[in-house]
Structure 1
Amino acid sequence: MRLSYCNETLAQEGMSFPEQCATLASLGYTGIEIAPGSLAENPLEVTVRDAEVLREQASAAGLEIIGFHWLLSALEHLSITDPSKHSETVAAITHLIDLNAACGGDVLIHGSPKQREIGVVGATKARRNAVEVFKRVAEHAGAKGATYCVEPLDPSQTVFINTVEEAVEIVDKVGHPNFRTMIDTSSSGVAESISVAELIKLWVGTGYIGHIHLNDTNRGVPGAGSDPFDEILAAIQTSEWRGHLSVEPFVLSGTATETARLAIKTLREIMEPSGGQCAP
């Protein structure tokens, strides 16, 4: 299994991007997943050439940039549910897809709960409006060879798209091979009616799942709480998942580096006794 790490907590502690890559590589990660807001206050000012430099810096450290997440978190005025903001939102996402491609990434994760609030439009119109945005960005993602994933988030973050089943309904309406959903083990552990391990067994083999985030329901990394990551990783192996696994913490266990170290130590201790591997 290929282990990656989401970069924003490292960036928040003042690490440059090359320092982030060097740190993660030294701990044994093979990939880094970028939050665009960690690159600039306004990520739309980041150029394709800037992204190419990031790819070179990651490669020099022995890492690959696997993709982007938290796409719109630094762009709070945008919305996938408010049609008056659709043109600007699609343009922004299109630029992020271009940056992701220049970085060498092959997946984009659309979480961004604040930019998918239902507001006054109501659930039915919000869903219809979001589908229209996703149809447009899925087409561009496909042209760039990337998979665009809508992320189910738990109800404490948003009331719109909380479960994988709800996300699959959106995926079916979008109807594009480069548009899928994903599993975030923290949100799924809160929002789903079945265990995360059962969820993985149910959905990973269906073709709907384009990515997996590993985190505890306490919002920390694997090992920071009591979630059964032995069962979760066993389910991932049983399902023959071939994609990346990205650790995404929201709560730290010490410093950002110490948190990344705890995560990979925990995952390796689970994987290695059973013959599993954290990297190809």
Structure 2
Amino acid sequence: MIRFGICNELFEGWGLGRTCAEVKGLGYEGIELAPFTLAELITDLGKDRRAEIRRTIADAGLETIGLHWLLARTEGFHLTSPDPTVRQATQDYLKALIEATRDLGGSLMVFGSPKQRDIAPDVSREDGEQFAAEVLAAVTDDLEAYGVDLCMEPLSTAETNFLTSIEETRGLIERVGHPRVTLHLDVKAMSGDPGGSVEGLIRAHGGVAGHFHANDPNLRGPGMGDLDFGPIMKALVASGYQNWVSVEVFDFSPGAEETARQSIACLKRSLAEALA
């Protein structure tokens, strides 16, 4: 069953209780958390505080979807670094994020973090891919133990030089070869994917995706730009996708309440049309 959630960084400056009340009141069922909104580093977030956050979300009648923006606003972590010390630190931090996801009540993590995965000019493509695969493979036991999926997100060439298409990302996922390392789809990113139209990409890959972000190429929420979400939702339903659809925006200027309100109205309307 497709359910709708929203990413919490949109509500910058709000307390978590107020955010959850607003999100629930608008009709969302889940909330997705950016670690930097909770603590400078996830390892700074103690067990008691994690339990308190989980209770606040549950008491509002919401579910914790998981974490995204995993390495944002951190230093010393990088997926394709040629330095084994950096890769070890990245692996260790991903393990800490996996445990935190479980503690917070979530079941997935979205790996976007474009600057922490760029392949450096002095690193070959093959070496960069191998470094990334090694780091990801090293955390699969933790993913399995904590029941968390790590969803790898293709991004545009304007953001990164690594994993810039669904095809490339699925190649890395296959190289890792573990069911807990899976694909993430993002509408904004798919708008620039060389593999085809957004709807075509969803129909081709939605059935294997572990998570989905809804947004407009203009960086605002669904229904707040020129992109028609009717065909997108029809393609998602047709693909067999049965997981969360989270609103993730990057332009906060319309305001958190207005963005959240317009976004879920668009998504609910589009899903109803797709199921009719």
3-state SS of 2:192 partner: helix
**Given the alignment, which residue of 151, 156, 159 partners 1:157?**
159
Q: Which residue of the partner structure matches residue 200 of structure 1?
A: 202
Q: Retained in 2: the 8 A contact 1:196–1:232?
A: yes
Give the Cα separation in 2 of the matches to 1:246 and 1:76.
Answer: 27
3-state SS of 1:73 partner: coil
Give the Cα separation in 1 of the matches to 2:89 and 2:72.
Answer: 15
What TM-score do you get using the length of structure 2 for normalisation? 0.94
1:168 aligns with 2:167: no
- CA drift of 1:258 comes to 1.2
Alignment RMSD: 1.4
Q: How many residues align?
A: 272
Q: Retained in 1: the 8 A contact 2:42–2:100?
A: no
Which ranges of structure 1 fall in alignment gaps of 5 or more residues?
A: none
Q: Retained in 2: the 8 A contact 1:139–1:176?
A: no
Give the Cα separation in 2 of the matches to 1:42 and 1:146.
Answer: 19
Partner amino acid, structure 1, of 2:210 = G
Q: Which residue of the partner structure matches residue 118 of structure 1?
A: 119
**1:164-220: per-residue Cα shift (whole Å, max 9, x none)?**
110111011101111111111101111233111111111122x3x111111111111
**1:215-264: per-residue Cα shift (whole Å, max 9, x none)?**
11111110111112111000111122111111100113511121111101
Higher mean displacement: 25-34 or 182-191: 182-191
Give the Cα separation in 2 of the matches to 1:56 and 1:192.
Answer: 42
Q: Retained in 2: the 8 A contact 1:214–1:222?
A: yes
Which ranges of structure 2 fall in alignment gaps of 5 or more residues?
A: none
Q: Which residue of the partner structure matches residue 236 of structure 2?
A: 236
Following superposition, which runs of at least 4 residues in structure 1 exceed 4 angstroms of deviation? 273-276
3-state SS of 2:249 partner: coil
User: Matched residues, percent identical?
Assistant: 35
Give the Cα separation in 1 of the matches to 2:185 and 2:194.
Answer: 11
- CA drift of 1:275 comes to 4.5
Give the Cα separation in 2 of the matches to 1:99 and 1:44.
Answer: 8
Q: Retained in 2: the 8 A contact 1:58–1:65?
A: yes
Give the Cα separation in 2 of the matches to 1:109 and 1:211.
Answer: 8
Partner amino acid, structure 2, of 1:238 = A
Q: Which residue of the partner structure matches residue 51 of structure 1?
A: 50
